[in-house]
Amino acid sequence: MDTTASAFREVAVPVSVFAVLRKELASEAGTLPTIHAFHAAGYRAGTAAADAFRSSPDEDVSALPEDEFWTRLTSFFSRRGWGSLSRTTSHPAVGLLVSQDWVESTDVDISEDASCSFSTGFLSGLLTALAGGPVAVLEVECRGRGGPSCSFAFGSESAVHELYGHLVDGGNLDGALSAL
């Protein structure tokens, strides 16, 4: 019986898979292509994981009360070993998901090129599938770059793009959110 095309399936791999894949792909393709590949793979995995998040295939999670949705989302990631995740609302157009122990990042090998590219894509794909419309995600802080946490801003594509522009122009997160 072929089960590969049936219901959502998961497999556990060591956390080190992120670092090994990133290192090997970067040595073959370079840093930027690696980031793009991880993001694209994460997005596809996130859209597929939406079925695992729902209690039933036809459940409309967008109808859940806000607190229940975020509680289920943080539990979803925690049960699967991704780490703890909390949501804050710093701006009406942009929310933040924050973790001090996010699995894709480590505070052991600090690098200015570090990022949680797979996670960013995964979160975007999952939230997009659950919301029924595009949800953009931008990592705004990474433990792998020396930050105290991994923080992901999420919202509409235009709001997240504008936030990114403010950050690229040298603003800090609080200033960039205030400028939105």
Q: pLDDT digits over 43-77, tens only?
A: 999 999 998 999 887 888 888 999 999 999 999 99
pLDDT at 113: 72
The SS3 of residue 114 is: coil
Q: Which of 100, 106, 109, 94 is nearest to 78 (CA)?
A: 100
Please tell me the distance from the alpha carbon of residue 180 to that of residue 164, in angstroms, as a whole number: 10
Paired residues of 7 in beta bridges: none
Q: Where are the domains of the chain?
A: 16-179
Please tell me the distance from the alpha carbon of residue 118 to that of residue 114, in angstroms, as a whole number: 12
Please tell me the distance from the alpha carbon of residue 132 to that of residue 61, in angstroms, as a whole number: 10
Provide block-wise average pLDDT over 10 residues at a time, the chain (180 residues).
Answer: 60 86 91 93 95 86 91 94 90 93 81 86 97 95 90 96 92 88
- Cα–Cα separations (whole angstroms), residue 67 to 72, 123, 152: 9, 18, 18
Identify the CATH number of the domain defined by range 16-179.
Answer: 3.30.1380.20
Total-model pTM: 0.91
Paired residues of 31 in beta bridges: none
Q: Report DSSP letters for 54-90, one per residue.
A: SSSTT--GGGS-HHHHHHHHHHHHHHTTS---EEEEE
